[in-house]
């Protein structure tokens, strides 16, 4: 019986490692000079040519970026994008982490700490393995005292 339990546990651990490797993105630790760390990967879908671009941010404690800024506010909304090439199509809309309200300003929505953003793509048969595409995030990072100029971080991914 002990041998059977060990086998089951080993199977579960191996399954977890395989599943978690799909969404593991190595990010540099954010710091005061670079409070927003960004990384991205492509995850294969269940059907041929079906893939998901996954962008992850790690925002240093005390800092945030904006998910929604109503008109009349001086802050800048974050934007996401994928520069598609011939044979690659965007499918649907971005799936985004749930934002939080900014303390004292319930009309502002922000991302803090870790956030993920997913967008499905369809890759045609004419696109060769190893082809590169770019994804990006454009954001303004602020803390309680100062806002940095907006920044665009691009990541090149291999299909």
pTM above 0.85, yes or no: no
Average pLDDT along the chain, 159 residues, taken 10 residues at a time:
38 34 74 93 93 97 96 93 95 97 91 96 93 97 94 95
Residue 106's pLDDT is what?
A: 86
Write the CA distances from 79 to 40, 104, 128, integer angstroms: 15, 24, 29
Q: Which sequence spans correspond to the domains of the chain? A: 2-158
- Where on the phi/psi map is residue 134: left (φ > 0), alpha (ψ -120 to 50), or beta? beta
- C-alpha to C-alpha distance for 8 and 11, rounded to whole angstroms: 5
User: Which helix or strand (DSSP H or E) is residue 61 part of?
Assistant: none
Residue 23's pLDDT is what?
A: 65
CATH of 2-158, one of 2.60.40, 3.40.50, 3.90.25, 2.30.30: 2.60.40
Q: What helix, strand, coil percent values describe the chain, rounded to 5?
A: 15, 50, 35
Beta bridge partners of 81: 136
Residue 4's pLDDT is what?
A: 39
């Amino acid at each position: 019986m002990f041998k059977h339990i060990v086998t089951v546990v080993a199977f579960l651990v191996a399954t977890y490692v395989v599943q978690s490797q799909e969404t593991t993105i190595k990010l540099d630790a954010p710091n005061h000079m670079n409070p927003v760390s960004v990384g991205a990967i492509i995850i294969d879908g269940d059907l041929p040519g079906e893939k998901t671009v996954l962008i992850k941010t790690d925002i240093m404690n005390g800092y945030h970026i904006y998910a929604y800024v109503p008109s009349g506010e001086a802050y800048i909304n974050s934007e996401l994008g994928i520069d598609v090439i011939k044979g690659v199509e965007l499918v649907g809309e971005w799936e985004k982490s749930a934002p939080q309200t900014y303390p004292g300003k319930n009309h502002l929505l922000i991302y803090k700490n870790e956030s993920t953003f997913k967008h499905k793509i369809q890759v045609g048969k004419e696109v060769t393995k190893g082809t590169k595409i770019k994804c990006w995030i454009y954001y303004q990072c602020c803390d309680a005292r100062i806002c940095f100029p907006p920044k665009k971080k691009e990541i090149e991914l291999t299909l």
